[in-house]
Amino acid sequence: MKNPTKPTLFIILFFALYSFACINLISYIEKNEVFVDEPGWVSSANYYTNLLLHGDFQHQKWECTQCENWGSLNPHLGQWIIGLFLKVQVPQQEPVFFNLYNFQISMDENIKQGNIPPRQILLPARSISAIFGILSGFLIFFIGYFSNNKWLGGIAALLLLGNQLFITLSTQAMTDVYYNFFLLCGCLSSVFLLRRCQDSNSLLVSSIYGCFAGLASSVKITGLLLAGLHFVLIILYIKMTCKLPIKNAIQYLAVFFFSALIIIYSLNPYFWPSFKEINGEQVIKEVKTIYSEVKTGEMKTENMQEKYPQLSNLSHPLEFPYLFVRWNKLMDNQLKNYAWTWKENRLRVLHESLFIGLSTFPLEWCFFCIGMFFYGRTCVNAFHKRQLIKSVSPFLFFLVNYVFILAFMKISWDRYYLPPIIASKLIVAAGIYQTYTLIYAFILQNPFIQKAQKQRNEKKPLSVEGLTIDKSSIPLETASNPLEK
């Protein structure tokens, strides 16, 4: 029978430390300084939630030009989460807040002009972010637990909740924490995809991961890119390890992306055509007009929406891929602000910020390197032996997030580091766990320790049902790591 003391001790220790970390995080809901983007997110959350609750899906209203950068540039799931929570928590007699931060004046002047949400609105909007932050800690624990062991998961969760950037973004009225929450949900689902080769539930798990990818992309459009690349790498790993038939691999990929796109288009009315306005005869007429203009070379791209309203209406689903183009233009435009540029060597600043400046504790990068070594060695050995191991998933999850910011991060904004920082906590936790394991084994292999243990065993006879056994006759077992039991 297994000794229940160790699991009970772990549960008590973990929940005690996790509760303390949660209390610390919650305390920042009030302590956090107001960030300039918070008024925009709260305002757009109120606006889009009202449209949703009133069932108003007119395309022009979902543009929300008065929302500026917090309007149609963003999918709306994150805004709905904030807005619906405000509907529940804020008294109905409270005026609906809609003001944007004025970057031309100081914070004090913005407060005087009413551009900052009042306390009774700002704190509830931050509270729902804190709830998702705490849940994200549980998610990273379960990823570590199911892919490795409970100790690695527990260490990773505590490291995450102790990270200052994570605490800050989890206690602001912004959407970053929702985005990362859904990415973690997808990573967790992928762990179950690696249970065995060609599992009968693989299609279901692929669909679930696709749904989480769609939810992440309904908060920030890059969710589909990150989750999609992670899933593709998982499928390639399964194919090379288990000789997965190409037909099955294509099925998993098709189910994943189909599920993701269904969620994305279902949750974003801005991508919907206005079905009431569709007129078949007019559509045919506009198509013939465009064809004749192209044929004669008289095609002009000016005022296309006014000239071809029916085709413009039918093209609304193309707004989703076009969002990537719009965001790229916005980032290029933001580079004009010197304060947001890298100022020095981009690669050096990026890595210093990621592994040193935004770390949870000093010298965290040392344990990260140890963790990367052991993760890398484990994955390479598993690949050569054609073994399917679950720890590949968090390893690939970090690599995808890291490579993404390395390739596409144009502006030095701290919140863009959050996805790889969250993913790196599992790597750092592995480094800490492996370091402890090596030190523990080294200590037990010391001849003085072995001699003392043998003498102690000889002094304590083992009694079993009235029989006394001389333990000196039992060979000393090889030292093992108690964390692995």
Q: Which domain holds residue 169?
A: 5-271+320-438
Confidence of residue 481 (pLDDT cuts 50, 70, 90): very low
The number of residues in the chain equals: 485
* Structure-model confidence comparison of residues 302 and 336, the more confident one: 336
Confidence of residue 479 (pLDDT cuts 50, 70, 90): very low
Give the pLDDT score at 32.
Answer: 93
Q: Degrees (nearest 5) of the Cα angle 93, 96, 97?
A: 135
Instruction: Give the range among 173-187, 308-322, 445-459 with minimum mean pLDDT.
Output: 445-459
User: Which residues share a beta bridge with 468?
Assistant: 463
Residue 52 gets which letter from DSSP? H
* Structure-model confidence comparison of residues 306 and 36, the more confident one: 36
Residue type for position 133: G
Question: Strand 462-464 and strand 467-469: pairing?
Answer: antiparallel
Reduce the DSSP state of residue 117 to 3 states and report it. Answer: coil
83-118: pLDDT as tens digits: 999 999 988 888 899 999 999 999 999 999 999 999
* Structure-model confidence comparison of residues 24 and 290, the more confident one: 24
The predicted model gives 374-378 an average pLDDT of 90
- Classify the phi-psi angles of 128: left when phi > 0, otherwise alpha if psi is within -120 to 50, otherwise beta: alpha
Q: Are 156 and 426 in contact (CB under 8 A)?
A: yes
Task: Give Rg (Cα) of the chain.
Answer: 27
Confidence of residue 6 (pLDDT cuts 50, 70, 90): low
Give the pLDDT score at 305.
Answer: 73
197-236: pLDDT as tens digits: 767 789 999 999 999 999 999 999 999 999 999 999 999 9
* pLDDT at 161 exceeding the cut of 50: yes
* pLDDT at 455 exceeding the cut of 80: no
Give the pLDDT score at 262.
Answer: 97
> E-assigned strands of 163-289?
none
**How many domains would you assign to the chain?**
1
Burial 188-222 (b: 16+ CB within 10 A, else e): bbbbbbbeeeeeeebeebbbbbbbbbbbbbbbbbb
250-294: pLDDT as tens digits: 999 999 999 999 999 999 999 999 887 887 888 888 888 887 877
The predicted model gives 173-182 an average pLDDT of 97
Q: DSSP string spanning 77-95?
A: HHHHHHHHHHHHHS-TTSP
Sole residue written with tokens 């009315």: 269
Give the pLDDT score at 382.
Answer: 84
Reduce the DSSP state of residue 198 to 3 states and report it. Answer: coil
The predicted model gives 168-184 an average pLDDT of 97
Q: Which two tokens stand for residue 159?
A: 């490291």
Decide if 57 is inside a domain.
yes
The predicted model gives 316-321 an average pLDDT of 92
Decide if 185 is inside a domain.
yes
Give the pLDDT score at 207.
Answer: 96
Give the pLDDT score at 480.
Answer: 42
Task: Give just the sign of the alpha carbon dihedral 342, 347, 350, 353.
Answer: negative
236-248: pLDDT as tens digits: 999 988 888 999 9
Distance CA 370, CA 359 (A): 15
Residue 309 class from Cβ within 10 Å (0-12 exposed, 13-18 middle, 19+ buried)?
A: middle
Distance CA 397, CA 400 (A): 5
Decide if 227 is inside a domain.
yes
Q: What percentage of the chain reaches a pLDDT higher than 90?
A: 63
Give the pLDDT score at 473.
Answer: 44
Contacts of 266 (CB under 8 A, 6+ apart): none
* pLDDT at 463 exceeding the cut of 80: no
Q: Are 429 and 152 in contact (CB under 8 A)?
A: yes
* Structure-model confidence comparison of residues 112 and 338, the more confident one: 112
* pLDDT at 149 exceeding the cut of 70: yes
Distance CA 117, CA 94 (A): 12
* pLDDT at 165 exceeding the cut of 70: yes
Distance CA 418, CA 126 (A): 17
Decide if 197 is inside a domain.
yes
* Phi, psi (deg, nearest 5) at residue 96: -70, 125
Give the pLDDT score at 2.
Answer: 43
Give the pLDDT score at 282.
Answer: 83
* Structure-model confidence comparison of residues 421 and 344, the more confident one: 421
Decide if 289 is inside a domain.
no
Residue 463 class from Cβ within 10 Å (0-12 exposed, 13-18 middle, 19+ buried)?
A: exposed
Total Cβ atoms within 10 A of residue 248: 17
Residue 267 gets which letter from DSSP? S
* pLDDT at 343 exceeding the cut of 60: yes
* pTM over 0.85, yes/no: yes
Task: Give just the sign of the alpha carbon dihedral 432, 436, 442, 445.
Answer: negative
